[in-house]
């Protein structure tokens, strides 16, 4: 899934910022206010995402399943704590013991109270679950398509909206469209960093290369160089 990125709507953006009658060199050298610069940068970022196929507000999603009927909803819909994270790898997650399915409304316990950081993994697949509007990311330690994977999820809660828009824009710049109607397997896995809480999900009976019921959820996934 590749595309050529362009920003055909740049002129309206410049008009909004009050810069539409200035040449490219003037845009760079001119005495532009900090507010105009921030406005212009934010608008261009959104337009790049749209032009590269990342259209649609990734934060504007109504779950098909009411929150009260979602599995362990209180445990999943929470902000990330302000505590130092423990660095791990996907391989380390695969070694965590597999437990019987937690009860439907089970609170967080044990490892689920710990914040983890995967400094570098490879994003293999991305999409949105319309049931709860979470973004689902499958990641592995290597870009090999057969490498074992674990799931990372970013909720639709307002505190995660900036992270959702960032990853949507980053993927759009690589020609990959992520929104309520688009997603799937990335032809070329991308390096990402993941910060999130461990979460013991129920057994979905996912086939290989998915290799664990453990997730990082909620989690923030960011494309890295």
Q: Are residues 148 and 45 in the same domain?
A: no
Q: Do both 46 and 107 map to the same domain? A: no
> Contacts by 164-169 with C-beta closer than 8 Å and gap 24+?
164/58, 164/59, 164/135, 165/49, 165/58, 165/59, 166/222, 167/126, 167/135, 167/221, 167/222, 167/223, 168/49, 168/54, 168/58, 169/45, 169/46, 169/48, 169/49, 169/54
pTM: 0.74
For residue 77, what pLDDT is reported? 93
Q: How many angstroms separate the CA atoms of 146 and 149, rounded?
A: 9
What CATH number corresponds to the domain at position 178? 2.40.50
Q: State whether 82 and 192 are in the same domain.
A: yes
Is the same domain home to 74 and 28? no
| pLDDT score at 210 | 77
Is residue 2 in a domain?
no
| In a shared domain, residues 132 and 205 | yes
Residues of the chain with pLDDT under 70: 1-55, 204-205, 208
Is the domain of 177 the same as that of 110? Answer: yes
58 is a domain residue? no
- Pick the closest to residue 179 from 19, 49, 47, 25 (CA basis): 49
Q: How confident is the model at residue 94, as a pLDDT? A: 95
Please indicate, yes or no, whether residues 201 and 103 belong to a single structural domain of this protein. yes
Q: Is residue 139 part of a domain?
A: yes
Residue 188 lies in a domain: yes
Q: For residue 210, is it within any domain?
A: yes
Query: Total structural domains in the chain?
Result: 2
Q: Does one domain contain both 164 and 216?
A: yes
HEC string of the chain equals: CCCCCCCCCHHHHHHHCCCCCCCHHHHHHCCCCHHHHHHHHHHHHHHHHHHCCCCCCCCCCCCCCCHHHCCCHHHHCCCCCCCCCEEECHHHHHCCCCCCCCCCCCCCCHHHHCEEEEEEEEEEEEEECCCCCCEEEEEECCCCCCCCEEEEEECCCHHHHHHHHHHHHHHHCCCCCCCCCCCEEEEEEEEEEEEEEEEECCCCCCCCCEEEEEEEEEEEEEECC
Q: What is the pLDDT of residue 118?
A: 98
Say whether both 21 and 74 belong to one domain. Answer: no
- Segments forming the whole domain that contains residue 46: 10-51
């Amino acid at each position: 899934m590749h595309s050529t990125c362009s920003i055909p709507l740049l002129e309206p953006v410049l008009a909004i910022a009050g810069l539409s009658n200035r040449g490219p060199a003037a845009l760079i050298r001119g005495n532009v206010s900090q507010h105009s610069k921030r406005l212009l940068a934010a608008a261009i970022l959104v337009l790049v995402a749209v032009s590269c196929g990342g259209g649609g507000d990734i934060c504007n999603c109504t779950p098909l399943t009411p929150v009260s009927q979602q599995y362990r909803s209180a445990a999943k819909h929470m902000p990330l704590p302000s505590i130092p994270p423990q660095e791990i790898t996907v391989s380390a997650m695969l070694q965590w013991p597999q437990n019987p399915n937690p009860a439907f409304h089970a609170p967080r316990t044990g490892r689920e109270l710990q914040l983890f950081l995967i400094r570098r993994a490879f994003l293999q697949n991305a999409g949105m679950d319309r049931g709860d509007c979470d973004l689902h990311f499958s990641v592995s330690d290597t870009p090999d398509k057969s490498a074992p994977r674990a799931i990372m999820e970013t909720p639709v809660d307002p505190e995660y909206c900036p992270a959702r828009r960032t990853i949507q824009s980053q993927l759009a710049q690589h020609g990959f469209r992520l929104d309520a109607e688009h997603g799937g397997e990335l032809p070329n896995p991308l390096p990402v960093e993941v910060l999130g809480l461990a979460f013991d999900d129920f057994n979905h009976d996912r086939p290989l290369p998915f290799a664990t019921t453990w997730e990082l959820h909620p989690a923030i996934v960011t494309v890295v160089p």
